[in-house]
Amino acid sequence: MELIRIIKSLGVKKVLLFGMGGGGDIVGTVPTASFLKEFGVKVYHGSIVWDRIVVDPKPGPRAIEELENAEIVNSTVAIANESTTTNYGVKLTIARAARVFGEVVALDITKGVKKLVEGLLDFAEKYKIDLIVGMDSGGDALCMGFESGIKSPLADSICVATLSKLENSIIGVFGFGSDGELRIEELLHNISILMKNKGFLGCLAFGEEEYRQMIELTKEVITEASMLPLRAYEGRLGLEKMRDGRTVIVSPLSTLTFYFDSEKVFELNALAKEVEDADSINKANEKLNNLGVFTELDYERAVSKYD
């Protein structure tokens, strides 16, 4: 598997492994972390700081400046613990997950791709990180940009663009189609293109130990897309309805994590190309709106009652 060859060729000892879609995507980091630890790798679990409004009523992702009781590394990276909150008192997923992981690397996407790249490079230098892996639950990070089911393209597009600028980085997809955004045939089509372009790095399935770890984590972290693979591992097969009415196919494929070359995913993803020069979350959102794309930020602003 190409992933194993990358780990060995780079002499990887420390990895930052973060949920790139926000919220519950951090649950999907567990199988990859377990795999890496088999090679003696130290794993730093992380997440972008964006929770859905069922957790954080304020629309959009949080900036580092909005966090309290967190260790600030730089303008886009902080280390959260279980006491970390927003400056208006909300305990975010990064803090909930820290109850399990001890601490979580919090990533601020509000300042755009360039600033996030700079922050990650600084973090990697300070903590001697050899490899950065962004984990997406469901697979919408692999979109081309025109697929009709896309519901949350903003965070993923910023993270895909960011990872493509980092030399030693990988994009993972946990829970094949479990977010209900890309249809299965769309995912298969896009993965086949990545394979053709030599961007596929392998896949793995989780086992009993990883299942138990994720079950414990989901007691703290609210997630749908990362929960459905657990149902698949329990033997569930068929259609599941999500809270917003979308239907998702749960199957043995849901238990797999797929790995891809970050630059190849960026080449595929037109939305990531569109936001790469935006210097704020609002400008990135506007660029996607100009393409006719309705984002998760638009949705949250439309329905939130936060003052």
What pLDDT shows up at residue 241?
83
**Angle (CA) 153 177 94, round 5°:** 60
User: How many domains does the chain divide into?
Assistant: 1
Q: How far apart are CA 304 and CA 162, in angstroms?
A: 28
Q: How far apart are CA 37 and CA 249, in angstroms?
A: 30
118-147 confidence digits (pLDDT tens): 999 999 999 999 999 999 999 999 999 989
Cα dihedral across residues 261, 262, 263, 268: positive or negative: positive
State mean pLDDT over 198-214: 97
What pLDDT shows up at residue 229?
94
For tokens 């698949």, name the residue. Answer: 232
Q: Is the pLDDT of residue 24 over 90?
A: no
The average confidence (pLDDT) of the chain is 95
Cα dihedral across residues 171, 175, 177, 178: positive or negative: negative
What stretch of H or E contains 173? Answer: strand 169-174
Give the strands of the sheet with 67-72, arranged side by side.
67-72, 77-86, 104-107, 42-48, 14-19, 131-137, 169-174, 256-261, 200-205
Sequence-ordered list of residues with C-beta below 8 angstroms from that of 55, at least 6 positions apart, any chain: 23, 90, 92, 93, 222
Q: How far apart are CA 297 and CA 227, in angstroms?
A: 23
Q: Is the pLDDT of residue 109 over 90?
A: yes
Residue 18: give its domain's CATH number. Answer: 3.40.50
27-85 confidence digits (pLDDT tens): 999 999 999 999 999 999 999 999 989 899 999 999 999 999 999 999 999 999 999 99
Domain that holds residue 182: 2-303
